[in-house]
Amino acid sequence: MTTPLNVAILAAGHGKRMHSALPKVLHPLAGRPLAAHIIDTARTLTPRAMVVVVGNGAERVTAALAAPDLVFVHQDPPLGTGDAARVALAAMPSDGVTLIGLADVPLAPAAGLSSIVDHARRGDVGLLTARVPDATGLGRIVRTGDGGVKAIVEDRDASPSERAIDEINTGFIAAPTALLTRWIAQLAPHNAQREYYLTDIVAMAVAEGVPVTAHIADDEREVRGVNDRAQLVFAERIIQTRKAKALLESGTWIADPQRIDVRGVLSCERDVRIDVGCVFEGIVALGEGVDIGPYCVLRDVEVGAGTEIMPFSHLTDATIGARCRIGPYARLRPGALLDDDVHVGNFVEIKTSTLGKGAKANHLAYIGDSSVGCGVNFGAGSITANYDGANKHRTIIGDNVHIGSNCVLVAPLEIGAGATIGGGSTIVKGAPGDALTLARARQISIAGWQRPVKKPKSAK
């Protein structure tokens, strides 16, 4: 039987170098809170219990990360990683092994964490370490002459020879829970920060003859902490490069892997093309042969096969059928549902509306809270006036209706199938099908009319 695993994620830091009112662990990384990434990685280890230690912005952090498998405990005041670990251990089972890690190291690899947990299950202390080109500010792994781990020394407390060491502590440690609990109870703040360092338990383990085994990360970039906005951007590019690589390997054409952002889940069928500068948020599904033009934003959108999204279009919570043409500069707002072969052109906005097969709104139009039938042509400059200042009202447009240019359809309203609405009309009552409906003032011309002229400016 596998020894049960407990996981503690330390997320109580202030993140002062972010210079933000937002708690550091909630800053977005690939569209999700920073801390959510390492929590998800920890879940792959199938822990029995997971505790998140919060401090700065505790209520916001708890609300943002809340999940059935997480227990949140509050560290107040913040007295260092050792004290945070003590608070976490008090909220989890006292047996098994415990993995402790940092919420601001979002890319720590699951394989490395699994390795140090395996060491803990054998009775050792497991450390995730890395060799870095510049270890300034980081805790150093001090080894014995035969290569065994002797201690972890924080940068502020290190001697000149220790500062020359290039192997660093990443903030992830695993050990039998009973040993961790006993060692943490013995910690003292004998350091430059006057804090309780979790890393001091390494020297305690060595003193007791408990083996300390390090797993050196294959890619040191994956175990870099995020302490400022520059480091957050660095982590973002790593994630986005990974996502772009996976899309390319699955057959998606991407114009430039350095100019795509996937801030959620993007799934692509065969022969999808994505041009530069596109952003995908939430859950986006692109059907076979979909073509996304430059600088489009898609959030929680499903796009049918063969559809073209032209440049600078913004789509949110929309469902688009096959062989549609959207944009450029189109906006689909939540609740837009487009059937196959629909055209939505430049500077057209659709909100909470359905457009039937083959319907067209090619330019300069607004369709809101409407049901638009098949084969409808919605003219340039025309709108549905769906809001009376207090409530929204619905417009129903039957199949094969032709709406002329610069029309206002004042909801609630129903226009029968086959109707034609003359350009420039303001329609306030239902229009019958298979008929021309006009609602405009009679045109007149006034002979001899003179345009007003400006009065001459008085001389100074």
The two structure tokens encoding residue 199: 């890393």
CB atoms near residue 136 (< 10 Å): 8
Q: Which of these is catalytic: 119, 215, 363, 393?
A: 363
Alpha-carbon distance 342 to 326, whole Å? 8
Q: Do residues 150 and 143 lie in contact, with contact meaning Cβ atoms separated by under 8 Å?
A: yes
Name the one residue in this structure whose structure tokens are 């497991």: 126
Known catalytic residue at 363:
yes
- Give the β-pairing of 167-176 and 97-102: antiparallel
Classify the phi-psi angles of 309: left when phi > 0, otherwise alpha if psi is within -120 to 50, otherwise beta: beta
The number of residues in the chain equals 460
Which residue, among 214, 136, 143, 135, has the nearest Cα to 173 in the 3D structure?
Answer: 214
CB atoms near residue 19 (< 10 Å): 8
From the number of C-beta atoms within 10 Å of its C-beta (0-12, 13-18, 19+), residue 413 rates as buried
Query: Over the range 215-224, which residues count as b (16 or more CB within 10 Å of their CB) and which as e?
Result: bbbeebebbb
Contacting residues for 186 by C-beta, under 8 A, at least 6 apart:
204
- Give the β-pairing of 149-153 and 140-143: antiparallel
Q: Do residues 423 and 404 lie in contact, with contact meaning Cβ atoms separated by under 8 Å?
A: yes
- In this structure, the dihedral spanned by the alpha carbons of residues 110, 131, 84 and 174, taken in order and rounded to 10 degrees, is 50
Alpha-carbon distance 301 to 317, whole Å? 5
Question: Which amino acids are annotated catalytic?
Answer: 363
